[in-house]
Amino acid sequence: MIWESWNAFLEMGGAAQFVWGSYGVTVLLIVAELVLLRSRRVHSTRRLSRLIRAGQGRKLPEVQGS
C-alpha cells in the first residue's frame, strides 16, 4: 500500500482538484453516455412500435440524431 491513510489518498499530495476533477468528469461523461444511449433505445423502439401499430410504417419521417 503506497498511501498512509485514506485521507492521504483523497488529498492526492495536494493535487486533489486536478486528479479527482479529471477522473470525476470522465466517470460523469461515461455514465451520461450510457444513460442517453439507453433512453434513446427505449424511445426509439417505442416510437417505431407505435408507428407500426398505427399502420403508417411506410410513411414515417426519418429518425433524427445519432
Amino acid at 47: R
Distance (Å, whole) CA 35 – CA 40: 9
* 40 contacts: CB under 8 Å, gap ≥ 6: 65
Nearer to another protein, 1 or 7 (CB): 1
Nearer to another protein, 7 or 64 (CB): 64
23 binding another protein? (CB under 8 A) = yes
In the block, cell 407500426 appears at 52
Site residues (vs another protein, CB under 8 A) = 1-3, 9, 12-15, 17-19, 21-23, 25-26, 29-30, 33-34, 37, 40-42, 44-45, 48-49, 51-52, 57-58, 60-66
